[in-house]
Homo-oligomer: A and B are copies of this chain.
Amino acid sequence: MSGNSIGTILRLTTFGESHGIAIGGILDGVPPKMPISKKEIQKELNKRRPGSSKYTSERKEKDLIEIFSGVFHGYTTGTSIGLIIKNQDHKPQDYFDLKNVYRPNHADFSYFKKYGIRDYRGGGRASARETAIRVAAGAIAKKYLRKKYNLKITGFLKQIGNIKCANIDLKQVAKNKLFCPDYNCLPLIINFIKNLKKTGDSIGAKIGIFIENVPIGLGEPVFDKLDAELAHSLMSINAVKGVEIGDGFKCVTQYGSTSYDEITSQGFKKNHSGGILGGISTGQNILISLAIKPTSSINIPVKTINTYGDHTTICTRGRHDPCIGIRAIPVAEAMVALTLMDHDLRNKAQCK
């Protein structure tokens, strides 16, 4: 395996490059007789789609999902689901000048050194374009979890540069295209991004993920703990540089006597642990934070070398996201959904 699959019972395998013919995936292990429509999947894809707002990439991709197999008369059949998205606004020629340059903080250097060959068109396989298929597959997992448990996964912008969302109101998240939970912060962030676009620069972000109505018992002991597998699936998203469960790095200064989650006959009193103990969900909300690095493509010249070892500068004139942390949010939700559904099936196999 060279790494294009994830999951144990529910397993997603993907293919496709940024400027190839299409990207696609196979989702295997979905239970039969689940109603699935293209519309439901498209709705999730539209959240991630570039060109959907002024604050993200202006590449025009409709990201139209096609279901090639595994769904019959609107219902899953239990066989593998083939998902395809054709690339529309692929302009390989835009990238010809990248052919011999290693863009800093991109995968150009490491891919070329590993494989000795590189699809230089927009990052090829290393492009975040592949995450569209994660969102498509995640839409199916989300529906499964919602129907079975009323489980809800909400990703949101917690911080962008130095602007922190102070008042987290998850109801706000769906009301704006930045997934911002803080009504008062929103204009500040919009203004900040506008100015950033003018300068051509990019910025990092912190994403929060809030998961409600989680069943007790998801996760496996030792190596496949739920938090370990969530860390895996989330860290596999482009630009993610850190993952926290529950209190995360706040734990460093905490004492055992004050930071524990008291159990009462009415349930847990606090949630320092973020809803997972011993790698297994407790039934509390699961709380996750992600660190997202600034978009590597910026419209400012940066120093690097070409493939011959000569010094040069590169400036991405293209259509990049000033803050990739925004469009990463639906991708993070999708990865969480896939991981939770996989663990729900694993739990069902052994324990129910």
Does A13 sit within 8 A of B, measured CB to CB?
A: yes
Beta-carbon contacts under 8 Å, A1-53 to B:
1-9, 11-17, 20-24, 26, 28-33
A291, B79: Cβ atoms under 8 Å? no
Does A295 sit within 8 A of B, measured CB to CB?
A: yes
Q: Which of A33, A119, A257, A300 has the most CB of B within 10 A?
A: A257
A351, B31: Cβ atoms under 8 Å? yes
Q: Which of A55-63, A169-177, A304-312, A326-334 contacts B (4 or more CB under 8 A)?
A: A304-312
Chain A interface residue count, CB cutoff 8 Å, equals 152
Q: Which of A148-156, A179-187, A196-204 contacts B (4 or more CB under 8 A)?
A: A196-204
B241, A251: Cβ atoms under 8 Å? yes
Closest B residue to A11 by CB, please name it: B1
Does A228 sit within 8 A of B, measured CB to CB?
A: yes
Q: In the complex, what's the smallest C-beta–C-beta distance from A281 to chain B, in angstroms?
A: 7
- Given the interface pairs A107-B280, A206-B252, the reply to whether A32 lies near B243 with Cβ below 8 Å is no
Does A190 sit within 8 A of B, measured CB to CB?
A: no
B117, A32: Cβ atoms under 8 Å? yes
A-B contact pairs, 14 of them (CB 8 A): A1-B8, A1-B220, A2-B350, A12-B223, A84-B84, A110-B216, A110-B278, A110-B279, A114-B280, A204-B251, A244-B249, A255-B294, A260-B296, A265-B311
Sorted from nearest, which 7 A-B pairs have the closest CB atoms?
A107-B278, A3-B220, A3-B224, A202-B256, A15-B82, A349-B349, A232-B232
